[in-house]
Amino acid sequence: MLTGVLVGVVTMGITILAAGALSGRLGRLPVYLTGAAFVGLMAFPVFLLIDTRSPALIALALAIGIGGIGIMYGPQAAFFSELFGANVRYSGASLGYQITTIFAGGLAPFIATALLAQFNNASWPIALYIVGMAIITLVCTYLAGEIRPSAAAELAEATAGN
C-alpha cells in the first residue's frame, strides 16, 4: 500500500507541474475542467482496479486517481486567485478554499465510510459519489469562467509600461 501511495504521489507531482505549465498556455479553465472530467471518468475504473486486491493494480489505481487530482491542483492557486480583485484576492481565495476543504474534503472520508457500511463494503457507491462531486466541480468551474487575461492583453499591458 505504501508503494502504491508513493507511486500516486510521484504521479501527482508530475501532473501538478505539467498542468500548471499547461494552464499558463491554454488558460486555467480548460485545464481545470479537464482534471475534473478525468477524475469523474476514472472513478469507476480506479475502484475496479482496487477491488482486484492486486498490489500492482492498486498502485496503478492510486497513480491514476491521485495523479488525476494533480491536474486540478496545477492551475488551482492561479485560478482561484484570479477569481477575485486585487483588493480582496488573498482573503477571497483563502476563504473559498478553506470553506470548501471543510465541507467537501473534510466530510468525504465520513461519507465514504457511511457508503461502505450502507452498501456492504461495495465500492461502486463511493465511485458514484466521486462522479457526483466531479459533476458539481465541472458545473461550478464552467460557470466561474476563464478569468485569466489573454496573452495579447498581457503583452499590451507589459509593453505599455515601457
pLDDT tier at 155 (50, 70, 90 boundaries)? very low
Does 43 map to a domain? yes
Does 160 map to a domain? no
pLDDT, tens digit, 9 for 90 and up, residues 39-87: 999 999 999 999 999 999 999 999 999 999 999 999 998 888 888 888 8
Q: Which residues contact 1 (CB under 8 A, 6 or more apart)?
A: 55, 58
Residue 156 pLDDT? 55
User: Which is it for the CA torsion 78, 21, 131, 111, positive or negative?
Assistant: negative
How many other C-beta atoms can be found within 10 angstroms of the C-beta atom of residue 161? 5
Residue 153 pLDDT? 56
Q: Which amino acid is at 53?
A: R
Does 161 map to a domain? no
Does 139 map to a domain? yes
CATH number at residue 115: 1.20.1250.20
Does 153 map to a domain? no
Percent of all residues in the chain with a pLDDT value above 90, rounded to a whole number? 67
Does 126 map to a domain? yes
Does 113 map to a domain? yes
Helix (H, G, I), strand (E, B), or coil: what is residue 108?
helix
Please give the tally of structural domains in the chain: 1
Does 31 map to a domain? yes
Domain span at 45: 2-148
Higher-pLDDT residue of 143, 97: 143
Q: What is the pTM of this model?
A: 0.84
